[in-house]
Structure 1
Amino acid sequence: MGVLSGMTGFARVDGQAPGWSWTWEARSVNGKGLEARFRLPNGFERLELKARELAKARFARGNVNATLNLRRESEAGSVRIDLARLRSLLDQAAPLLEGDQVRRPTLDGMLALPGMIDAEQAGADSDTATLDKALLASLAEALDGLRAARREEGAALAVVLSGHVDEISRLTGEAAGHAATRTDAIRDRLAAKFAELLPEGLPEDRLATEAAMLAMKMDVREELDRLVAHIAAARDLLSAGSPVGRKLDFLSQEFNREANTLCSKSSDSSLTAIGLSLKNTVDQFREQIQNVE
């Protein structure tokens, strides 16, 4: 039996390497597809490609955001500013500054530009490849924690969704057994109506014809058969586990279509009430599906 996963969760992992310490925070919310975003310190943009691969290996849907907070453990050789790049930018900006066309830049703003601080030199006391490997291993651990949190949400969703499917099944069975769906009941109601209007009633052959035409118009057996098939499909998907959110969403639209047709064909108030209850349950089912991966 598969595991159902939600799309909301949070995880945090701390890590260390010689000269460095860090924290990864990963969180996710609902999304139609998978969108992974990473906030990385200047100079560590090189990690993004592999970070995305780690996210894609674990998730199929949801907006996933991961933030790396990186700290130096020692001051020696902590940073190396690219002075040549800084001078080049200032020289190119000089005409604009003299003409008061732009606001004069601040040092912290200039240093925040990508590539201004040589992170590889800043980490001279720790091999870059080793540091990257450790950072990505911590990210993988954080994403695993996020996946576990999403599965906890999925376990709760599975209970709720199964309850909705059970209710849809109950209402479908109630509609199938309703007297208004039986041809003989339709004939008896029609005969009673004509008896009220015509004292002599209708000839038997005319009554049979009218009853048959009305029964064809009110026949909901096909809708009920399709509902039974959709119920079985929904249970199979819930058992299969994520990613099934999109398939369940499509199935909920099919449920809604059959419930609408049931209501439109019904000429009996109690059968219509069953159809409306069915629509309400389908709406609740579809609402919860938006949280499923």
Structure 2
Amino acid sequence: MIRSMTAFASADADTPWGALGYELRSVNSRYLEVSPRLPDELRAIEPAVRERIAAKLTRGKVDVSLRLHASGAAGEIRINEQTLGRLETVAHAMARRFPQLGIEFTRLLDWPGVLEREEVDLEGLRAAALDLLERALADMVATRQREGERLGGFLRERLDGIARIVADVRGWLPEIRKALRARLEARLAEIAQSAEMPRADNGRLEQELVLQLSRIDVDEELDRLTAHIAEARRILGSAEPAGRRLDFLMQEFNREANTLGSKSVDQRTTQAAIDLKVLIEQMREQVQNIE
């Protein structure tokens, strides 16, 4: 099954430490490129994020954005009443001795032990973030597969079109060879009777005829195109990543179409080569989207 490299996925979850939200976007790339953007509290999971994405995807530029909206309970600040009470007693005693003494409220809060912050369970938060990533990745893989099915249908239609053109050219070849042979024989007969070649013999004329016919022979190109069609269909039905193989195969398709056009001596095969190149280019553009 082929998969597209272009996809979007998201996943959200409420945790004891706050609301987590992922957004994953992927576009075409020759290799796998992962760009995570994580909150400060979760930067430590970046290697695990990269590893888990690489386990599910093989190609594409993947942007990963993780949001954390901390809940009111997470990291809640409390005042230590006992410590504050002791400071109050000391402050009253000092005030009697130093009436002009003033203490700012903000400086009082800076005193060690006055404010207590509830510690966040970072290990639990990180585990929740990685579990949520698995959900987002599953969504992205499913989206890539759905888009891949659409691309696969598009490519199979073009392969069917190429197969029809190959069959048409094979059907035209006997007629084309017959017409070319007649033209060559007529031309060589004219040369043989002219002053340019007064002693031309039948053997040399036949050699020239065979040479000209061999130059326009496209049986090998048609055979290779047929083989490429079969290989492309096999790749489309394979469970392995198909993008790189199909990209290489498009180059081979194009090479045979060019050769077919260069050997053409008939308007029909010339047009067939053009139609082939149009179909191949349409396929090549879509193959760039395949993982």
**What range is the shorter-chain TM-score in?**
0.7 to 0.9
The reply on whether 1:38 has 2:36 as its aligned counterpart is yes
The reply on whether 1:171 has 2:171 as its aligned counterpart is no
User: Which secondary structure does the structure 2 equivalent of 1:177 belong to?
Assistant: helix
Question: Contact 1:5 / 1:241 at 8 angstroms: preserved in 2?
Answer: no
The reply on whether 1:257 has 2:251 as its aligned counterpart is no
2:112 alignment counterpart: none
Rounded Cα–Cα distance in structure 2 between residues aligned with 1:20 and 1:179? 72
Q: RMSD in angstroms over aligned alpha carbons?
A: 2.5
Rounded Cα–Cα distance in structure 1 between residues aligned with 2:237 and 2:175? 32
Aligned counterpart for 2:70 among listed residues 66, 69, 72: 72
Output the amino acid matched with 2:265: S
Aligned counterpart for 1:155 among listed residues 149, 159, 164: 149
How far is the alpha carbon of 1:210 from its aligned partner?
2.1
**Structure 1 residue runs without a partner (length 5+):** 80-120
User: Which secondary structure does the structure 1 equivalent of 2:40 belong to?
Assistant: coil
Aligned counterpart for 1:187 among listed residues 181, 189, 208: 181
Rounded Cα–Cα distance in structure 1 between residues aligned with 2:72 and 2:41? 18
CA offsets, 1:69-113, max 9 Å, x none?
Answer: 10111156358xxxxxxxxxxxxxxxxxxxxxxxxxxxxxxxxxx
Where does 1:227-242 land on structure 2 (aligned, <5 Å)? 227-242=225-240
Identity among equivalent pairs (%): 40
Rounded Cα–Cα distance in structure 1 between residues aligned with 2:149 and 2:61? 20
The TM-score with structure 2 as length reference comes to 0.78
1:57 alignment counterpart: 55
1:212 alignment counterpart: 210
Rounded Cα–Cα distance in structure 2 between residues aligned with 1:76 and 1:128? 11
1:140 alignment counterpart: 134
**Count of residue pairs the alignment pairs up:** 249
Rounded Cα–Cα distance in structure 2 between residues aligned with 1:78 and 1:170? 71
How far is the alpha carbon of 1:197 from its aligned partner?
7.3
How far is the alpha carbon of 1:267 from its aligned partner?
1.8
How far is the alpha carbon of 1:49 from its aligned partner?
0.4
User: Which secondary structure does the structure 2 equivalent of 1:36 belong to?
Assistant: strand
How far is the alpha carbon of 1:214 from its aligned partner?
0.4
How far is the alpha carbon of 1:133 from its aligned partner?
0.9
CA offsets, 1:215-251, max 9 Å, x none?
Answer: 1111111111111111111000011145110110000
Rounded Cα–Cα distance in structure 2 between residues aligned with 1:67 and 1:159? 32
Aligned counterpart for 1:130 among listed residues 119, 124, 145: 124
Rounded Cα–Cα distance in structure 1 between residues aligned with 2:64 and 2:175? 56
Rounded Cα–Cα distance in structure 2 between residues aligned with 1:70 and 1:192? 85
How far is the alpha carbon of 1:140 from its aligned partner?
1.0
How far is the alpha carbon of 1:68 from its aligned partner?
0.7
Rounded Cα–Cα distance in structure 1 between residues aligned with 2:170 and 2:29? 37
2:90 alignment counterpart: none
Determine which structure has more spread, i.e. the larger CA radius of gyration.
2
Output the amino acid matched with 2:236: L
Rounded Cα–Cα distance in structure 1 between residues aligned with 2:10 and 2:117? 25
Output the amino acid matched with 1:274: A
Summarize the Cα distance change of 1:166–1:150 in structure 2 as closer, same or farther, 3 Å threshold: same
Rounded Cα–Cα distance in structure 2 between residues aligned with 1:219 and 1:134? 66
Rounded Cα–Cα distance in structure 1 between residues aligned with 2:175 and 2:130? 62
Summarize the Cα distance change of 1:179–1:42 in structure 2 as closer, same or farther, 3 Å threshold: same
Summarize the Cα distance change of 1:192–1:6 in structure 2 as closer, same or farther, 3 Å threshold: same
The reply on whether 1:21 has 2:19 as its aligned counterpart is yes
Output the amino acid matched with 2:63: N
How far is the alpha carbon of 1:179 from its aligned partner?
3.1
Deviates more, 1:54-63 or 1:174-183: 174-183
